[in-house]
A and B are shown apart, each in its own frame.
Chain A
């Protein structure tokens, strides 16, 4: 195993002395991925119960899912809320990130931290708080309420992605555009936006996923006709264990993976030039 003695990087470290690191990384990756890889085979089982590994393979639980009006309605609700959240959170987060980045005001940092608190505070607290606040405002069990709550969760992600993009962007370009006769708004839309567009798209996809995958807030503030897919899955798990959940999970993993791959592709596309 001669490669063990070769240099692992520009320093003198060999692969041999890094072996422990490779093992650790592998273990961590497996721990992250194994639950997913258990769920996927279970979804193709013929059994009445969640079973791993499946004895007989079948697509019946996918049929069950697609054939069920209840599941379909929940899926439609989730998609609708995710799209709306994306449409609200992306411009909102972009505007906030831009304003705070450009302003240079002393309070800008504090405001930034304040706006990303939904990422820091445990989601359960947000869910409980939202539930009580929405109760007073009559927003529980409404699409509007869910979109608002999910927007609060997704906006910080958008802000972080856009701020990172602006850091590597030369704001003098906007100044030059303004000196050449563009208003601030024109300068932003014609000069800045086209150059951070991949980050905007990435942040939009992340906002979509944030909402689509979200469970805890949905459990509290959605219900009845507006129950999301995740809420239905959670109640289904509690009431009766049934491989439909595994089938839905597989579909959701697929959607998330595709979206993440798309964002990755977008991210690497902006580098060549």
Chain B
């Protein structure tokens, strides 16, 4: 009883109530997740969050304690891995060292009794797709890390699975190669149109590649959304902190529904609630400050109106003292201690700006007073964690 191969379309995956316990610890806690056919979905979370457990459950390598995994309408829980027709790429690549590149890629085809001629044809095609033409006769130990990665990939899709699973496949590569492979994987995904579930702990990688990101922590899905939505409207402090760099500034509730940071009015509770879909009787609210959304305002000792590059700025203005300025090539960043007013003192925020203004950085010496601006559209307010 193998899956129907008549259609080449990708399969949707429907996961519901999936639970896996190791001792007293929930590796997966009633996870519900719908993965659309042809989608590139990334499971993103810190180590031990349950993301790999979830991937292995989809692949069939661990048996959940409860719940269901459906490919299209077919329940897969009782299927062994070799009958799930799922291509898989492991972190270690797990290439077979006793076989050549071509033999590695042909392995799934041979198991499916594909004829010798067609097998050779499809191996060649797969090698071309991953830009390794002509390397079929090589041994695995003659390949570079990036090439091994491509062989693992070719082996995983050569038998035209309708689901592709990848477990941190790029983590062993150096930064440059990793970034190039991210783009290539994305293009390959578009070309193959196969439903792809990708596991990573690297938030930038997730943002780069995914159609949607499922943020997972302590075995629970925290937020499932597009990269833009996850970045711009994080569901809670965990997501805000995990995705991108950010500082959370605690807000206080002033009169008339207004949330304040120091004496600055930031947003209304109403607006925060409608943006978050939360409830009004929250413990409290925090402002998420992203380093690249903060602007360094002109030093305008004379005028009372804040200026940015000589133009009037009508967003939120924070005053502070520069504690550190760091030049990093394409960008630079400042660590600024905010003068936040009466109650809370000395919250550090990071400000990142592109070094087109590099001339500036030398004038931004430690200990200087500085004004930072935040556009009202860039305000992200999230509920504080209950605990």
Residue of B84, B90, B159 near A176 (CB, 8 A) is B90
Residue of B81, B86, B92 near A172 (CB, 8 A) is B92
Interface set, chain B 280-309, CB cutoff 8 A to A: none
Interface pair A191/B108, CB less than 8 Å apart: no
Residue of A183, A186, A195 near B97 (CB, 8 A) is A195
Residue of A173, A179, A195 near B59 (CB, 8 A) is A179
Interface set, chain B 49-100, CB cutoff 8 A to A: 59-61, 80-82, 84-88, 90-92, 94-98
B202 within 8 Å of A by Cβ? no
A60 within 8 Å of B by Cβ? no
Residues of A within 8 A of B155 (CB): 176, 180
Interface pair A179/B97, CB less than 8 Å apart: no
Closest chain A CB from B69 CB (angstroms): 15
Residues of B within 8 A of A176 (CB): 88, 90, 94, 152, 155
Interface pair B82/A178, CB less than 8 Å apart: yes
Residues of B within 8 A of A170 (CB): 92, 94
Given contacts A186-B111, A273-B141, contact A178 B94 (CB under 8 A): no
Residues of A within 8 A of B94 (CB): 170, 172-173, 175-176
B112 within 8 Å of A by Cβ? yes
B242 within 8 Å of A by Cβ? no
Residues of A within 8 A of B85 (CB): 181
B107 within 8 Å of A by Cβ? yes
Residue of B90, B91, B112 near A181 (CB, 8 A) is B112
> How far does the alpha carbon of A191 sit from the alpha carbon of B97 in the complex, in Å?
9
Interface pair A179/B98, CB less than 8 Å apart: no
Closest chain B CB from A61 CB (angstroms): 48
> How far does the alpha carbon of A173 sit from the alpha carbon of B90 in the complex, in Å?
9
Is the contact region of chain A dominated by helix, strand, or loop, or is it mixed? helix
Given contacts A179-B59, A181-B111, contact A194 B82 (CB under 8 A): no
> How far does the alpha carbon of A194 sit from the alpha carbon of B96 in the complex, in Å?
10
Interface pair B84/A179, CB less than 8 Å apart: yes
- Encode A224-237 as 1/0 by CB contact (under 8 A) with B: 00000000000000
**Residue among B59, B81, B95, B98 having the largest count of chain A Cβ atoms under 10 Å:** B81
Size category, A interface: 10 to 19
> How far does the alpha carbon of A273 sit from the alpha carbon of B138 in the complex, in Å?
13
Interface set, chain A 150-191, CB cutoff 8 A to B: 170, 172-173, 175-183, 186, 191
Residues of B within 8 A of A177 (CB): 96, 107
Interface set, chain A 35-82, CB cutoff 8 A to B: none
Given contacts A176-B88, A179-B86, A179-B88, contact A191 B111 (CB under 8 A): no
Residues of A within 8 A of B91 (CB): 172
Residues of A within 8 A of B107 (CB): 177, 180, 182
> Which residue of chain A has the shortest Cβ distance to B165 in the bound complex?
A179
Closest chain B CB from A201 CB (angstroms): 15
Closest chain B CB from A170 CB (angstroms): 6
Residue of A172, A175, A186, A195 near B98 (CB, 8 A) is A195
Residues of B within 8 A of A180 (CB): 82, 87-88, 107-108, 111, 155-156, 159
Given contacts A175-B90, A176-B88, A176-B90, contact A182 B82 (CB under 8 A): yes
Residue of B61, B80, B87, B98 near A194 (CB, 8 A) is B98
Given contacts A172-B90, A273-B141, contact A178 B97 (CB under 8 A): no
Residues of B within 8 A of A172 (CB): 90-92, 94
Interface pair B111/A175, CB less than 8 Å apart: no
Interface pair A273/B84, CB less than 8 Å apart: no
> How far does the alpha carbon of A181 sit from the alpha carbon of B87 in the complex, in Å?
9
Closest chain B CB from A245 CB (angstroms): 46
Residues of A within 8 A of B97 (CB): 195, 273
Interface pair B111/A179, CB less than 8 Å apart: no
> How far does the alpha carbon of A194 sit from the alpha carbon of B99 in the complex, in Å?
10
Residues of A within 8 A of B60 (CB): 178-179
Interface pair B92/A178, CB less than 8 Å apart: no
Interface pair A181/B92, CB less than 8 Å apart: no
> How far does the alpha carbon of A222 sit from the alpha carbon of B20 in the complex, in Å?
55
Residues of A within 8 A of B156 (CB): 179-180
Residues of A within 8 A of B61 (CB): 175, 178
Interface pair A182/B92, CB less than 8 Å apart: no
> Which residue of chain A has the shortest Cβ distance to B112 in the bound complex?
A181
Residues of B within 8 A of A194 (CB): 98
> Which residue of chain B has the shortest Cβ distance to A171 in the bound complex?
B94
Interface pair B81/A178, CB less than 8 Å apart: yes
Interface pair A181/B82, CB less than 8 Å apart: yes
> How far does the alpha carbon of A75 sit from the alpha carbon of B173 in the complex, in Å?
59
Interface pair B80/A178, CB less than 8 Å apart: yes
Closest chain B CB from A174 CB (angstroms): 8
**Residue among A170, A172, A181, A186 having the largest count of chain B Cβ atoms under 10 Å:** A181
Residues of B within 8 A of A191 (CB): 96
Interface pair A179/B96, CB less than 8 Å apart: no
Interface pair B141/A182, CB less than 8 Å apart: no
Residue of A175, A195, A273 near B81 (CB, 8 A) is A175
Interface pair A179/B87, CB less than 8 Å apart: yes
Interface pair A179/B81, CB less than 8 Å apart: yes
> Which residue of chain B has the shortest Cβ distance to A186 in the bound complex?
B111
**Residue among B61, B82, B84, B95 having the largest count of chain A Cβ atoms under 10 Å:** B82
Known A172-B94, A176-B152; further 12 A-B contacts with Cβ < 8 A? A172-B90, A175-B59, A175-B90, A176-B88, A177-B96, A177-B107, A178-B82, A179-B81, A180-B82, A180-B88, A181-B112, A273-B97
26 sampled A-B residue pairs with Cβ under 8 A:
A170-B92, A172-B92, A175-B81, A175-B94, A176-B94, A176-B155, A177-B96, A178-B61, A178-B80, A178-B82, A179-B59, A179-B82, A179-B84, A179-B88, A179-B165, A180-B82, A180-B88, A180-B107, A180-B108, A180-B111, A180-B159, A181-B111, A182-B82, A183-B80, A191-B96, A273-B97
A interface residue numbers (CB < 8 A to B) = 170, 172-173, 175-183, 186, 191, 194-195, 273
Closest 6 CB pairs of A and B: A172-B94, A180-B108, A179-B88, A181-B111, A176-B94, A178-B81
